[in-house]
Amino acid sequence: MQTNWDDLRLFLAVAREETLSGAGKVLRLDPATLGRRMQRLEEALQARLFVKSPQGYTLTEAGMSLLTRAEIAERAMRNAVAELPEVSDQLSGQIRIGAPDGSANYLLPQVCAAIADENPDLDIQIVALPRVFNLSRREADMAIAVSAPTAGRLVVQRITDYHLHLAASEHYLAKSPRIETGDDLRHHRLVGYIPDMIFDRELDYLSDLGITRVPLASNSVSVQINWIRQGGGIGIAHDFSVPAMPGVRRILTDQISLTRAFYLIRHADDQRNLRLSRFAQALTAGLRAEVARLEALA
């Protein structure tokens, strides 16, 4: 029995999300309807594709075999669409970017807004999560990361370096002991990441400074920056975020400075996708320019 592309599209979503509710959200389809479609697909193929449990849907051996073939069909479909002749210089459709919340909050909104201005028919989605994105499961079309992955069928492009320094609000500094050296940090309240929730070694800023206790901690950069802005304590802040924090200034800039990099991660199968490649080019150029602009204002 031959399956059509729509059957495979629904199957891929369930296989990747591992639940009907998760796949339903991706597909904008009722989970009960999706469950019936999967049941009909199994009946048509005369094969059990999933082991169903309260925890979700797990692929059987037959399901894993179909997954391999479905992903080949998906790549072929993507490449076929990508190679169609362009009828317009403008981008259209939907593109989803996964990013850590520092870049998602302080860089991507204005960069993507500028791209959207030039491409009115383009829908851009930014998924801001403090974790590494799984492009193989198609959680996003591309992702920004703070370190280059070494596994998986991925294409990695270094976007730009960025810089970080200690920062504190004028209010906090006015009421607290003076800070002249890094040793003085022992007498101050520090803001940073929850140690056991740091998803990338490149984000472990405070341990690089020999600091082990973090009285005010969050897995979110935005929460950390708001703590700093509200006078909660001293923390490491991206230079590009400082212009968005009135009343906050960098400290000990001549003694403590960190440099990191942003990387654009794409699935290897998308290299021939002209639409995604054009968007990636505009995104990387915009991010480089915006980091440079904001760091000059810090």
How far is the C-alpha of 131 from the C-alpha of 247, rounded, in Å?
A: 30
Q: Hey, what's the torsion of the CAs at 240, 211, 197, 262, to 10 degrees?
A: 30
pLDDT at 87: 46
What's the whole-model pTM score? 0.69
Q: Is 108 helix (H, G, I), strand (E, B) or coil?
A: helix
Write out pLDDT tens, residues 147-206: 888 777 788 999 999 999 999 999 999 999 999 998 888 889 999 988 888 777 777 877
Q: For residue 259, what are its two tokens?
A: 């440099």
For the segment 108-126, what is each residue's pLDDT rounded down to a tens digit?
999 999 999 999 999 999 9
User: Which residues in the chain show pLDDT less than 70?
Assistant: 1-3, 80-89, 130-138
What is the DSSP pairing of strand 258-267 with strand 154-169? antiparallel
Rounded (10°) CA dihedral 78, 84, 89, 95 = -10
Domains of the chain: 5-82 (1.10.10.10), 93-160+261-297 (3.40.190.10), 162-258 (3.40.190.10)
199: Cβ–Cβ under 8 A, 6 or more apart, which residues? Answer: 130, 131, 132
For the chain, what is the mean pLDDT?
87
Residue 78 is encoded by which pair of tokens? 């993507």
Identify which of 247, 103, 259, 261 has the alpha carbon closest to the alpha carbon of residue 167. 247
Q: According to the model, what pLDDT value does residue 9 have?
A: 87
What interhelical angle do 61-82 and 274-297 show, nearest 10? Answer: 80
| Residues 155 and 268 sit within 8 Å (Cβ to Cβ) | yes
User: How much is the pLDDT for 81?
Assistant: 62
Which pLDDT score is estimated for 125?
A: 93
